[in-house]
Amino acid sequence: MELMKTELIKTSSPKAGVVLIELNRPEKRNALNNATLKAIADTLQILDSDIEVKTVVITGNTQCFAAGADLNELAQLDVVSIQQDQRPLLWKRIDEFSKPLIMAVNGYAFGAGFELALHGDIVMTGDNAQFALPEIGLGMLPGAGGTQRLARLVGQQLCMRWAMTGEVISAQTALQHGITSQVCPADLTVQYAVELAAKIAKQAPLAIRVIKQSLKSIHEVSLSQGLKLERQHFVWLAATQDRQEGINAFLEKRKPEFKGA
Amino acid sequence: MDYQTIIVEEKNAVGYLTFNRPKQLNSFNESMHQEVSSVLKRWAKDAAIRAVVISAEGRGFCAGQDLNDRVVDPNADAPDLGLSIEKYYNPLIKLITEMPKPVICAVNGVAAGAGANIALACDIVVAAKSASFIQAFCRLGLVPDSGGTWFLPRLVGRAQAMGLAMLGDKISAERALQLGMIWQVVEDEQLKAEAEKMAEHLATQPTYGLSLIKKAIHAAADNNLDEQLILERDLQRLAGRSSDYREGVQAFMQKRTPQYKGC
């Protein structure tokens, strides 16, 4: 795995097929400045084309996932320069990552940090996690999909309330409303996220790929179009060796060995 | 640091917080809330403090809210009693229940209203024989606060909790013990020594492990068995990584007394 050298994030491979990205600006509470966001996007792009990599976990540290955007950077932007800001492109590149992306969130996930978590296909949360969209307190609104992705997850009522007040959302509340799929003791969140990633990494990569595509399309297309798309993926998988292997292994009562072919 | 309403002492890894407004039966006013909370917050983070004892000066333990601090003019607008609860009592109860180390309460005399429920929020309650508990709220048309309606049914069952909260009778330390509300009753003159002995013992024990026990038992109140079994697995996983667990096993194998560091 050839990755760019940066202090902003740390990458490692704790299990076969799994890459762990740790945000590494603890002194700034992992505030997501452009350079960090770019490091994430660049890294994901490299990992996307690396066939050894099956799933990616992004985390901060046990006290903080990411406490928001970098306000010093934001403050310098006026209405003209903000139009040329590269940030929307960086977010888009993160959104386009084609493999399963798991967010392991401990501590603060505020503002852009929350929005980064919302980019995850699966979110795992420490019991100390706190989510919030505090942009309103700065006279702004969430600018990286916060209003859109959150409303689609939890509905308009709660999203309106949270975006208009900046209220803090506890891990338990996040679980209750589907922002996260599991609450773990904070010291175990990353371990459990990596274990989940490893479990997914063992699955048939092509099937995983189309599952992600199918699910990510639900907010783009109508149900009938979505069902058609799902059917196409279903048919397409029939041409893969992994599907044959999966069915054979099941009938022969053994574990399948998927090759991504 | 100088305190006006409490006495604070740190000795042998134990933090002693003593309510010190004996003339007012140690009832809470704003400055007492602020002082208590600043000390508890500090101890929660201080790894050198491995057990906490809460007790009181004089003949009473704590009479709850100092009513002189509240507007009781019958002709004035209705007071907002939710304010002081939101600002002071609720955070205080959370400080005690979320303290990652054992909190012992030594109840030396009458514990009334919020005073009773602050005691019940502690992990281990030792009471002097002459101490008593009163859920006085119902007599003023109020509701047991500071976690009272949460702790009582869990400690003594619904029937007894309802009786205590609706009748507001004073019950003796012995009765509280019978009901399972508290851990131990001792002779009045033994109270201080007993609490100190227990705290000093706990302060030599695996503090981190004890904090996980506390977390698990509190979580059990809301979890079903499946959830609790999963939590136990998680906490045991964490406990098994502590240096105290290693030390405990080694000491057992080597047939010696373990030396726990609390982490």
CB pairs under 8 A between A and B: 8
Which chain A residue has the Cα nearest residue B234?
A: A185
- Token pair for A21: 């990205």
Residues 179-198 of chain A whose Cβ lies under 8 A from any Cβ of chain B: 184-185, 187-188
A106 contact residues in B (CB cutoff 8 A): none
Each residue of B90-111: pLDDT tens digit?
A: 999 999 999 999 999 999 999 9
Which chain B residue has the Cα nearest residue A184?
A: B234
In angstroms, the CA A139 to CA A157 distance is 21
Which residue has 């019978």 as its token pair? Answer: B178
Q: Which long-range contacts (CB under 8 A, 24 or more apart) does A23-30 make?
A: A23/A58, A23/A59, A23/A60, A23/A61, A23/A65, A23/A66, A26/A61, A26/A63, A26/A64, A28/A67, A28/A70, A29/A64, A29/A66, A29/A67, A29/A68, A29/A108, A30/A60, A30/A61, A30/A64, A30/A65, A30/A66, A30/A67, A30/A113
Residue A179 C-alpha, separation from nearest chain B C-alpha, in angstroms: 19
Q: Reduced to 3 states, what is the DSSP secondary structure of residue A260? A: coil
Across the interface, whether the CB atoms of B238 and A187 are under 8 A apart is answered yes
Which chain B residue has the Cα nearest residue A185?
A: B234
Q: Reduced to 3 states, what is the DSSP secondary structure of residue A75? A: helix
Q: Reduced to 3 states, what is the DSSP secondary structure of residue A120? A: coil
Residues 219-248 of chain B whose Cβ lies under 8 A from any Cβ of chain A: 234-235, 237-238
Q: Does A257 touch chain B (CB under 8 A)?
A: no
- Name residue A11's beta-bridge partners: A21
In angstroms, the CA A17 to CA B193 distance is 59
pLDDT in the model for residue A79:
86
In this predicted structure, the answer to whether residue A6 has a pLDDT above a threshold of 80 is: no
pLDDT in the model for residue A2:
53
pLDDT in the model for residue A1:
52
In this predicted structure, the answer to whether residue A58 has a pLDDT above a threshold of 90 is: yes
- Residue closest to B129 by CA, chosen among B108, B101, B148, B146: B108
For the question of whether the overall pTM of this predicted structure is more than 0.90, the answer is: no
| Average pLDDT over every residue of A234-252 | 94
pLDDT in the model for residue A214:
95
pLDDT above 70: percentage of residues in chain B: 98
Each residue of A71-128: pLDDT tens digit?
A: 888 888 888 888 888 899 999 999 999 999 999 999 999 999 999 999 999 999 999 9
The beta strands (E) that lie in chain B are given as: 6-11, 14-19, 51-56, 60-62, 103-107, 110-112, 124-128, 132-134, 170-172, 184-186
Question: Is the ipTM, as predicted for this complex, more than 0.85?
Answer: no
Q: Does A35 touch chain B (CB under 8 A)?
A: no
Per-residue pLDDT band for B1 (boundaries 50, 70, 90) equals confident
Q: Does B98 touch chain A (CB under 8 A)?
A: no
- Token pair for A207: 């099937």
pLDDT in the model for residue B71:
60
- Token pair for A115: 């929005």
Residue type, A156: Q
Q: Does A7 touch chain B (CB under 8 A)?
A: no
B235: exposed, middle or buried (Cβ count in 10 Å: 0-12, 13-18, 19+): buried
User: Cα dist. B258→B197, B252, B263 in Å?
Assistant: 18, 8, 13
Per-residue pLDDT band for B177 (boundaries 50, 70, 90) equals very high
pLDDT in the model for residue B76:
81
| Average pLDDT over every residue of A144-149 | 94
A137: exposed, middle or buried (Cβ count in 10 Å: 0-12, 13-18, 19+): exposed
A188 contact residues in B (CB cutoff 8 A): 234, 237-238
Pick the range with the lowest mean pLDDT from B35-44, B66-75, B218-227, B247-256. B66-75
Q: What is the DSSP string of B171-219?
A: EEHHHHHHHTSSSEEE-GGGHHHHHHHHHHHHTTS-HHHHHHHHHHHHH
pLDDT in the model for residue A5:
67
- Residue closest to B169 by CA, chosen among B108, B107, B112, B105: B112
Residue B69 C-alpha, separation from nearest chain A C-alpha, in angstroms: 31
B237 contact residues in A (CB cutoff 8 A): 188
- Name residue A137's beta-bridge partners: none
Per-residue pLDDT band for B156 (boundaries 50, 70, 90) equals very high
CA distance from start to end of chain B: 28
pLDDT in the model for residue A77:
84
Q: Are B182 and B156 in contact (CB under 8 A)?
A: no
Across the interface, whether the CB atoms of B238 and A184 are under 8 A apart is answered no
Query: What does the angle CA B245 – CA B248 – CA B250 come to, to the nearest 5 degrees?
Result: 110
Interface test with A, best of B233, B237, B242, B263 (most A CBs within 10 A): B237
Each residue of A176-231: pLDDT tens digit?
A: 999 999 999 999 999 999 999 999 999 999 999 999 999 999 989 999 999 999 99
Each residue of A9-56: pLDDT tens digit?
A: 999 999 999 999 999 999 999 999 999 999 999 999 999 999 999 999
Q: What is the DSSP string of A223-235?
A: HHHHHHHHHHHHH
Each residue of B101-141: pLDDT tens digit?
A: 999 999 999 999 999 999 999 999 999 999 999 999 999 99
In angstroms, the CA A46 to CA A37 distance is 14
Residue A141 C-alpha, separation from nearest chain B C-alpha, in angstroms: 29
Quote the crossing angle between the two packed helices B158-167 and B148-156, to the nearest 10°.
Answer: 130
pLDDT in the model for residue A85:
86
A187 contact residues in B (CB cutoff 8 A): 238
Residue B234 C-alpha, separation from nearest chain A C-alpha, in angstroms: 7
